[in-house]
Amino acid sequence: MKSWGVIVFLVALAGVQVFADDAAFIENARSPARIVSGWEAEEGQIPWQLSLRMVDSTGAVSSCGGSIIHPEWGLTAAHCTANRVTMVLRAGAVSLLRPELIFETFEYFNHPLYIDAIAASKVQPHDIAILKFQRTITFSDRVQPIRVQNSLEKDRNYNGVRLEASGWGRTWTDGAAPENLQWVYLSGDSNEFCRSAYNGSSIIVDSTICASAYNVTSQSTCQGDSGGPLVELEEDGKYTLVGVTSFVSARGCHVDMPAGFIRPGYYHDWILEVTGINFDWVPEPGM
């Protein structure tokens, strides 16, 4: 088994390269970078997907993904929102040129255990943020919320479970980002396997979920996909958000290494505190 301990962010940043002891941005990966070996999404296929364009205090723009969980709320990665002053959100989009909705927000809530001050230089656990939309969005065939992983399954072993990731991540390291939304199958990994793959890295904690290539070794998330959804089609025929896209190996996105995501089921108490809404749920008997 290959074993590399360096981890990189999946956020797409404009002209920034920052190194740390055990983490670096995806631009520093030494291999081609994209949602690799996936497919172009069809209209309405992934209606919970958000596109984020974030602006920091210097005017630098970066891009991430996110998920709609309520008419007024979304989830993304904390390293996407940390130290940003505003962001433009697109919803109901396959092509970024033709979103159903486009609006601006400046209000977000990073998890209190996430350290914004080192967000630009170090991959961290608890890499999850809540977005406040500043408006109430109207749902349609192209714009829908996704169910959040329940707290009962927060420690589930997803080893071998088929999952789906999506985003507008770049099609090549430092290359052009795709106009159209891409998606890919991934296969869930146990946390034990993921820790071993990353040499016991402290980044892999209980609230981490990892996933590897499903049937082609290059399948993965990558640059620009941060904050986007990792979902499972459950037995009741509904999709559930089981992960928020966070990191990959510094060796590159298409190498045979797990990608890392944050399990939202761990954070229901915090989400309730921030939003005043209980997103937790109990599976029906037989699920």
Active site residues: 79, 127, 226
Q: Residue 26: helix, strand or coil by DSSP? A: helix
Query: What does the alpha-carbon distance between residue 230 and residue 4 come to, in Å, rounded to a whole number?
Result: 23
Query: What does the alpha-carbon distance between residue 216 and residue 256 come to, in Å, rounded to a whole number?
Result: 9
Contact 67, 48 (CB under 8 A): yes
Query: What does the alpha-carbon distance between residue 281 and residue 152 come to, in Å, rounded to a whole number?
Result: 9
Neighbours of 64 (CB within 10 A): 31
Range list of β-strands (E), 78-214? 84-91, 101-105, 107-110, 129-132, 147-148, 162-167, 182-189, 208-213
Query: What does the alpha-carbon distance between residue 199 and residue 4 come to, in Å, rounded to a whole number?
Result: 7
Query: What does the alpha-carbon distance between residue 124 and residue 20 come to, in Å, rounded to a whole number?
Result: 12
Contact 181, 40 (CB under 8 A): yes
Place of tokens 């074993």: 3
Q: What are the percentages of helix, strand and coil residues in the chain, rounded to 5?
A: 10, 35, 55
